[in-house]
């Protein structure tokens, strides 16, 4: 079955490198998958969590977002209100097909590890993030279950504004991504469409009650939110298994809103984390300088 290209999704053709799936989903191969296929490196998630970068499917079931974060490198406001949502099974099947189409050009590329390329045709890991807010797809829990049934590890990344979805979905690893540490900073940094800070706080509380693996990812912007003592309170509330402290990267559309010097270097991230380690129940366990990210784990 061919991927649908509806009137709605025709407006998305400017998303270069993306494969549009159905009415509101998309797939894109990331830099690290391409590097891994050439044995030139791998994603920090492989180093931290043991996934295989070359077998990771990066997708979103919702090409839309309810935040307008100043650090976001993706285009914003992609889709109007949806009246008809695609079936989870359709999204999963067509996303895998889309991944294979994106990989097809590598069969003629020099320097590609042929064994890895063969394995990449059958992804065993999915990162449900990519662009937009995935929990705006109203059947996100069913989508996660559909991927789980295929024996794929599922990483669901959310901004935490939909606590009911956080409660219902059971991914292998649940991420809540934070840039703000207070309602005031949330309004300044995330530019929400509505009053959503209370919902984020509720999602953090729900995270603390989840049985699966949980991660709180902090996107750090120099001069704006690098205040470890503020984030420590939210980390305590969420009680995740892991905390990722990651630098904002001066890429894409964020360059229209932030200067390059808003991007912390790795040493600045490490200094932030060293303070956080002293005032929280978390210890530093790993780092990836090239991605400017440091991992902490609950003691």
**What fold, for 9-298?**
TIM Barrel (3.20.20)
The pTM (predicted TM-score) of the whole model is 0.92
d(CA 61, CA 91): 7
Helix (H, G, I), strand (E, B) or coil at 275: helix
Question: 84 and 12 in contact (C-beta within 8 Å)?
Answer: no
Q: What is the mean pLDDT of residues 183-204?
A: 95
Is the pLDDT confidence value at 11 over 70?
no
Dihedral angle of Cα 58, 63, 66, 69, to the nearest 10 degrees: 60
The sheet carrying 293-298 orders its strands as 19-21, 25-27, 56-60, 125-128, 153-158, 173-178, 213-220, 242-247, 293-298, 282-288
What digits encode the pLDDT tens for the residues 207-219? 999 999 999 999 9
Instruction: Give the pLDDT confidence of 88-131 residue by residue, as tens digits.
Output: 999 999 999 999 999 999 999 999 999 999 999 999 999 999 98
Is the Cβ–Cβ distance between 248 and 219 less than 8 Å?
yes
CA nearest to 120, candidates 42, 61, 26, 49: 42
């Amino acid at each position: 079955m061919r991927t649908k290209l509806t009137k709605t999704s025709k407006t998305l053709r400017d998303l270069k490198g993306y494969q549009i799936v159905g009415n509101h989903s998309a797939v894109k191969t990331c830099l690290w998958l391409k590097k891994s296929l050439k044995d030139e490196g791998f994603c920090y998630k492989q180093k931290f969590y043991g996934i295989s970068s070359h077998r990771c499917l990066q997708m979103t079931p919702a090409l839309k977002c309810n935040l307008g974060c100043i650090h976001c490198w993706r285009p914003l406001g992609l889709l109007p209100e949806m009246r008809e949502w695609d079936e989870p099974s359709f999204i999963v099947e067509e996303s895998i097909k889309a991944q294979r189409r994106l990989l097809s050009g590598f069969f003629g590329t020099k320097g590609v590890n042929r064994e890895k390329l063969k394995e990449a045709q059958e992804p065993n890991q999915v990162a449900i993030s990519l662009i937009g807010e995935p929990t705006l797809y109203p059947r996100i829990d069913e989508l996660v279950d559909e991927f789980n049934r295929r024996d794929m590890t599922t990483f669901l990344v959310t901004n935490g504004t939909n606590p009911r979805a956080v409660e219902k979905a059971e991914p292998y690893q649940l991420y809540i991504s934070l840039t703000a540490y207070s309602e005031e900073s949330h309004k300044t940094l995330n530019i929400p469409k509505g009053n959503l800070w209370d919902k984020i706080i509720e999602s953090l509380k729900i995270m603390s009650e989840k049985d699966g693996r949980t991660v709180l990812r902090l996107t750090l912007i120099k001069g704006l939110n690098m205040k470890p003592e503020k984030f420590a309170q939210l980390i305590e509330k969420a009680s995740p298994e892991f905390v990722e402290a990651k630098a904002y990267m001066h890429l894409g559309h964020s360059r229209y809103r932030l200067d390059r010097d808003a991007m912390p270097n790795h040493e600045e991230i490490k200094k932030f984390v060293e303070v956080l380690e002293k005032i929280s129940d978390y210890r530093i366990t790993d780092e990836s300088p090239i991605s400017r990210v440091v991992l902490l784990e609950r003691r």
